[in-house]
Structure 1
Amino acid sequence: MEIHSAPRTPSPAAEPVHPLVRLGDGPPLAVAHGAGGGIVANVGELAEHLPGRTLLGLDYPGVDGQIPQTPLTLDRLADDLVAATVAEGHDRFPLLGVSLGSAVAVTAALRHPERITALVLTVGFARPDAQSTAFARLYQDLALADREQDLARLLVLCSGSPGALAGIDDVDAAVAATVADGAGRHRALATHMDLVLRVDLSAADLAQVRQPSLVVGAGADRIVLPSSTRALAQAVPGARHVELPDAGHIFAGDEVAVWAGHVARFLDEHDR
């Protein structure tokens, strides 16, 4: 395991750190995004529903389409995010993680407990389950074979909810839009999936979390099993668990508003 319970200094730089992304206005909420995503892609809509917060995050290496020179690690991603947020002038702040970013958030809380005031772990997991393992490996295989059309079909099929799929009238257009959004970056983003497959937060690690925590799950998640997010909530001491029963892995539309409501109420109560 690469997690340590004691505060640590930031890891030595091995890759250039992207500029800090800022969304919104108000007290800080640091954000760790999911594999294959980015700050704007994962929480851009959320920021619109949290008008009293500034969301701050770093895009992971690979989001810019450049293949990272060294493997990603939870420690490095956590240290970089904390260091960048502190450099912005925030000594203490809550941290929201999405999917893989939930493991980054837990790592940050354990390595920098003096900095993190509260955690929001969204569609997260302690270790890859059968569903997320199959998804990550298939993503890697398709990306490395430059099968962008097939990879786009996988993302359209798995990312949203059944309700979102039911609302798609033209699947080919949705696939084409997803290919365009990837813009040839999937080989670089496949490195995120390598980290997904290496996540291993033990029960002992999670038991050391001392920050108030909210775990948000998706009942129709087809990337991370809903049971994995429920297990994460059970393993974090005192965590509050809420689940959007019809939501898929990527929240959209009204689901974002519901997510934001849970986040806002939790932070109003616990971000002191």
Structure 2
Amino acid sequence: MPASRKTRALLGFLVLSEAPQRRDRLCDLFWDVPDDPRGALRWSLSKLRPLMNTGGRTRLLADRERVQIDPGTISVDFHKVRMQANGETEKASTLEQAWERANHLLMENCELPNQSDFGAWLEHKRGEVSRLRIRLARHLAMSGDAAPENTEVWAERWLMDAPFDPVAAQCAVAAKRRLGRQHEAESLAEEMDRAFSEAGLDQPDWSVDPIATGVSFTPIAHELNTEETPQQVVRFAQSEDDISLAWATVGKPDNPPLVKAANWLSHLELDWEAPIWSPQFRELAKSYHFIRYDERGCGLSDWDAPEISFESFVKDLELVADAAGLERFPLLGISQGAAVSIEFAARHPDRVSHLILFGGYAAGWRHTASPEEVREREAVMVLTETGWGRANPSYRHLFSQTFMPSATADELAWFDEFQARTTSPENAVRFLEAFSTIDVRERLKDIRCPTMVIHSRNDLRIPMSSGRSLAAQIPNAEFVGLESENHLLIGREPASMEFLKAVRRFLQTEA
């Protein structure tokens, strides 16, 4: 391994990230400006090439803009452990080996104290390893056919990593009882009672034997935090033109509300388990009563919609806010949902306490595009109508790769399938046409609530200039730039954590 700590850290980041990384992003993550970041990056890559490109294989791929380690040419323990932790049919011996792999500090001696963004990314990844280790120990402890001695070992390991998980505590106590060690079981129960009480938590019910009753084992995605959030509740509201609109709430009802306007595309059930944006949704649901809905024409809402237009989008947001019984609330608008949110806030200044706009724009391409761009976009709409529902995802890739250029192959494949299951080819074209005619430029000056505009600096779908323009024209708006090229943030990227941090800080300000 290279002697340079930063070079080792760079190697670990490239291996675990899988997707191509922009050189500018790597420079910001690992080097300060006075250090000649581009020169330092070139030096580190020169040290990694002879290490990676061996046996006639080129594993380290680099051009003038991007750097990547080809994921198809290497085997990574981290990815194996994640796959095995999410599998239901793995043998006990395989899970035990996976736990041993996870029982080591990820990227040891690669910490960079002065690089806060890299530190946040590394902390997140180490947290994921810890959660995978918990998951493996839980599965082994809950295995009904394991020997009692093994059950006790894995229950104790589970409890060690998750000391305030009541099921882990119940399992550890039950395992000792099964071995006939009643006194040890009672002592552990008393110790846990004190710990839970001091932490302000309800004490576990020691009469429950989770080994006998079983606990569900469901796959997890790349998560920011795996603490359980309340299950979402889906309801339906009826529009004036007789459309059944699906909307959902998640999070404690006594938490402050946060409404997310609909954007391309959504499905309340499928995207709650998404490997892409569900981590942000789940995090928001821990602090807020999070409310979102499927736009007419997609998801769980009626697909057979007589009207799909900007005006119908605004009315649907009004319908959901009324159905949820909300008088005044913060509003989150993403992509074209930002324009819908702007119009709503301008129409109802007394109802919106805070306005958050991410990846937004004020005017669709029919108002701003050159004749050449118009022809190109209209051609895409024709391709969409003819190819959207086909098994070959190449047509839907037109959208996937511009929405999330740094997504992995698996993430793009998920998004391609998600799009196909979310709406019909006809409705996809109707949505694109509706988005093209959006124009709220004259409404920006009418916004009266505190507003924060967030935009990915290298967004390939909607350029950052659109976000800057929004912030410049909305009175007293705050602007936050994120180090990402994704129009839709991916849960695993550091920019996703920065987005959540900015939202939480902003919503704490007085309206």
Tell me the TM-score normalised to structure 1 length: 0.81
Tell me the equivalent position of 1:28.
257
**Matched letter for residue 249 of structure 2:** R
Match of 1:191 among 407, 424, 430: 430
Separation in 2, partners of 1:98, 1:133? 23
The 8 Å contact of residues 277 and 488 in structure 2, kept in 1 or not, is answered as no
Residues 401 and 412 in structure 2, CA contact (< 8 A), matched pair in contact too: no
Tell me how far 1:150 sits from its aligned partner.
1.9
| Cα 1:155/1:89, change in 2 over 3 Å | same
Whether 1:105 and 2:341 are equivalent positions in the alignment is yes
Largest Rg, 1 or 2: 2
Contact 1:221 1:248 in 2 (8 A): yes
Deviation at 1:70, TM superposition (A): 3.0
Whether the 8 Å CA contact 1:33–1:99 is kept in 2: the answer is no
Amino acid at match of 1:190: V
Question: How many residues matched?
Answer: 253
Counterpart contact for 2:331–2:354, Cα < 8 Å: yes
User: Any conservation in 2 of the 1:24–1:47 contact (CA below 8 Å)?
Assistant: no
Q: SS of 1:259's equivalent?
A: helix
Q: Partner of 1:145: helix, strand, or coil?
A: helix
Shift of 1:19: 2.5
Q: Which residue of 2 aligns with 1:151?
A: 395
**Candidates 244, 269, 280, aligned match of 1:46:** 280
Q: Confirm whether residue 237 of structure 1 aligns to residue 475 of structure 2.
A: yes
1:87 paired with 2:323, answer yes
Pairwise CA distance, 1:174: 5.3
For 2:293, the equivalent position in structure 1 comes to 58
Deviation of 1:245 after TM superposition, in Å, equals 2.8
Counterpart among 100, 110, 114 of residue 350 in structure 2:
114
Provide the C-alpha distance between the structure 2 equivalents of 1:135 and 1:217, rounded to a whole number of angstroms.
25
Q: Secondary structure at the match of 2:475?
A: coil
Alpha-carbon deviation of 1:219? Answer: 1.1
Superposition deviation, residue 47 in structure 1: 2.4
Q: Out of 454, 458, 461, which is 1:216 matched to?
A: 454
| Residue 232 of structure 1: how far off its partner (Å) | 1.1
Contact 1:103 1:201 in 2 (8 A): yes
Q: Which moved more, 1:116-125 or 1:175-184?
A: 175-184
1:136-179: CA deviations, max 9, x gaps? 64552222012542223223321114xx24xx3xx4x5554333
Give the letter aligned to residue 263 of structure 2. Answer: G
Relative contact order (C-alpha < 8 Å, sep 6+): which is higher? 1
Which consecutive unaligned segments of at least 5 residues does structure 2 have?
1-238
Q: What is the TM-score when the length of structure 2 is the normalising length?
A: 0.45
Conservation of the 8 A alpha-carbon contact between 1:36 and 1:192 = no
- SS of aligned partner of 1:19: strand
Amino acid at match of 1:144: E
Q: Does 1:182 align with 2:419?
A: yes
The letter for the 1-side match of 2:341 is A
Q: Distance in 2 between matches of 1:264 and 1:175?
A: 29
C-alpha change, 1:192 and 1:45, in structure 2 (3 Å) is farther
Indicate the residue corresponding to 2:509 in structure 1.
Answer: 269
Deviation per CA, 1:48-88: give whole Å up to 9, x if none.
Answer: 22221122122111213864433323333223323322332
2:243 is the alignment partner of 1:16: yes
2-side partners of 1:33 and 1:205: how far apart?
A: 19
**Partner SS, residue 387 of structure 2:** coil
8 Å contact kept, 2:266–2:299: no
- Where structure 1 has 5 or more consecutive residues not aligned to the other structure, the ranges are 1-11
